[in-house]
Structure 1
Amino acid sequence: MSLESLDTSFSAIVDRLLSNLGPGLDTNTGSMARTLAESYAREMATFYVMLELAHRSGYVDTAEGDALDNVVAVLGIDRARAGRLTGEVEFSRNSPAPDDIGIPAGRLVTGLPSDSTPLPLFETLEDATLRRGETRVTVRVQQVQDDAKDAKKAPPVIDPGKLIVMPRPVLGIEAVTNRAPIRRTGEDETDESFRARARTALRDGEKGTLEAIASAVRQQGVQRVTVREPPDAPAGVVDVLVGDPDFSQDPSGVQRVWDAIRGSKAAGIQVRLQYARTIYFQVELQIEPADPDVDEAAFDRLRRELQQSLSRFAQGLPAGETVRRRKLEAVLYANPAVRHIDGLRVLTYVWGVDRDDPQKSALVLEAKSREYGPDRDWRLDNLETVAIDLEKKPPLISRLRPSIYRIDLVVSARRADPRTPEQIRQALRGAVEQYAARLAKEAQATNKPQAILWEDLQMTLKQQAEVEQLLSAVVTPDDGLAQVLAQSSGKQAALTLDQGTRMELGGAEMVGLG
């Protein structure tokens, strides 16, 4: 019989001892035989408990308290003590997650350098999951254990929006930030969170790999770094490309990166550190809000949200990657408050000589456009990276006020139609919107305005609104000059609708009811 299946409780040990003594003995309470058996059973039960405790104390999943500290010590991590910075961060993506995305405990987060000193490292305290169809999840974090010297440099509070760097990115997660301040706690870390961090440290503890080098560089506040083995170089050579804007102009940051590389690379590996040339994108476009009645204050909030989204989009692009127009548009359309965008263009700037003061450098407009191909994407060289800087060259977003065509209809309805006049009017409104949406889509595809034709409109009303016949249609543009849609317009209609024009139902008169 194995120890796992053996009942080691006090009463079970007493029963087994008495049964093995044989028949004829007095086993009643107070008898000599039972007293001896109970004394022995008490010691054995205590021994079994101590043996089980010693066994459980040797494993990460079952050890507790000081025993867990001793087991995890071999991984080089310590339990977080009272006084450490703790709080919450939000992991997010622009579009809903196509499937569940796991975020393990112990995932590192940090921030951009402040006053030439990077913010402390933080790590998640628990396993988390960004559920399918969701865009964000909140996870508790705490400051990583540092030596006494570094710990004194940590600020008492980390302001919101400062923790935005993941040294080891999570596949499917596009951004991280702290929505609330990170403050110091007065409690030690629990066994559960300490155990979860230990499991992640065991998985991510490799050294000398390309990902380990990239992680070490990101811990210095670098957001964009690419580590690869160049195909045209001999074995043992690794290229490290830092893509943060103008990072090479920060001497202390360059030194921190070199120190991090030396501490993470394997012996004998030659590292070639390069810095990407920053191309500043200034995006210009017009936005039509989904709510046409939104006031200027609300539109200004929308403008700031879109500017932040564009900046995060640029931060996530690797160096040398072509900027796809469709992806940039998708970032804008991901905001539910955006109905339509128009006039999207990009001006590119690089550092050059200031025209007014040749002794100073300034951002100057590139003479040659980077647009190419039928999709009008923007091309970058291998050692170039994109920046959308909200201070140097913020996106210029203005409000698009689309032209509106008001159409007044006279239709004949079927005498047996059971709908009320208001129900028929609602059906006509939906049919007009569908007809206008089809014309706008065709105008976008062909880049040409589409004619408003009597026959096409009448067919749409018959199919969608189930009316008998279109008798009259009067279209009134923004200028107030109403035009009657002619039945014999053919393909030479004077009225056209482009992708930036909307059509809505004005009045609707119905005849033939009764």
Structure 2
Amino acid sequence: MNPDTVTLIDRPYQEIVDDILTAMVGGVVNEPILFDLKTDLYPLAEEARDIRTITGTIKNQDTGDLESHTFQKEIDFVFSDRDNAVIWQEGGTLPLDNTKFYVDYFRKNSTSPLSDINVGSVTRTLGEAISREIATVYQQINLAYLAGFIDTATGKSLDLVVAILGITRKTKDFAIGLVTFLRDTTIEGNITIPEGTQLSTSKGEATFVTTQLRTLQRGQVRIDIPVQASDASKGQAGIVAAGAITTLSQAIAGIAKVTNFEGTILGAEDETDPALRSRAKAVLRGLGKATLAALAQVIFEGRASLAEVYDPNSSIDKRSEPGKVVLLVESEPERFPSLRAAVEGTRAAGVETTLVARYVFFKPRIVAEVSSDITPAGKVKVINEIIAALQTYIDTLSSNEAALGKELLNAIKQVKDVGNFKIVDAIAWRTELGGNGTDTLVDAITKAIQTSPTPGEEGTRTAIKGVLDAASSLVVPNVKRIADRDLVKKLDGSGRATDADIEAGEFQVVTPPGSDKWWVVLDIELADIILKGG
């Protein structure tokens, strides 16, 4: 499908009317113009008498979604007859940067025999009638398109979509109720109970699933979650007395007990569309997940490799705390966010899964000069372009390859509208990977025995036990960063780079020595770049 017309599937009626009426009187319809935040004046391709409408793309401030928008004349834009151009107004709604906006305008010398498009005219009446039919077709096409996706299909269409998973809509013959999840008082923090969590009576005569995702907040002792009988417990089999639902099919870390304080009853209505969607998604998430093999598979599919696994069942030098799994991966930095999302979507319910990699993070602080006629929004765009240029260079680096100051300066030099500039500081951190397994534990045990205040065998046992109890904090990696100024070196590697070296670009950001794979990662924000001028 043509990318310039794909959004027309959801075109509103009034927009179609404007286009047709403009065309009927010999005007120009949907002239595309690329919007750039750096400028506010956009000449038209032909001499215009006036502009009828401008449409384009904006970002919804509430949802963050992109949506089509009709801009208001004299508020968002004005037509300059002298310049034969659109002038966007400061404070008005603007198109999204680097997207096209579309202009309908009247030619100065139109040869069309039709000219009256006022309300009630024959031309307008015919145009509106045609537009109504076209708008109806667009809506029908859009509905057919939406009917193919689980998040947008409704009614019978949704039934057909979820049927591929072997799921059918539950009717009022399925019992419903509330199950209370009670916290283990020794566990702090938030505990998430996903929809689709399976429960049963003590002997398994009836089974149920949660129908909503709920989170037991820190400090909260209990939470009630709605449940519905499973397919195996349809009808009277799903009606159980208070206190009968006591078993979780899979333990959730932090949950000590489950029970229903009231009996279940038959549902008053059929399963709703949102409930059916949630149940279908829960089935999808449950297919082949919640195992280390599944985690390793999604990491492999993300084009990364799993270097180490730290979990409660590993040997003492790789043992994590109960309910926690730490995965050390070798992954290019640009793949890490999607990799983390995939792991988070695959982990077992109630298990905290942490993904770490050997990264050196560095933050350059930059001062640059720009032209005085760039708008405030344009300055923000220039800063983003500087960050993008730096990121483009960093993305070319391989593992254990240093980021060179000269190359960083060359990247900034490619950004349009940037005059004199310099890097005034560079700060580096590295991932905290814990100790080196067995050696770290041996060193810790030796030191604990030597410094034990209690002599003899009892003191030795106490010292060793204390180290083993804290083993996970000594050897298991975490997401913390350790500041390491030694990673910002002179070009010849002889020592730390000075401020003068950094400003001259005579420095490099290196990775720690050794055979392990480390990557340099850019960690920069808008506030780290100061623009002067304007």
Normalising by structure 1, we get a TM-score of 0.37
Normalising by structure 2, we get a TM-score of 0.36
> Based on CA coordinates, which of the two structures has the bigger radius of gyration?
1
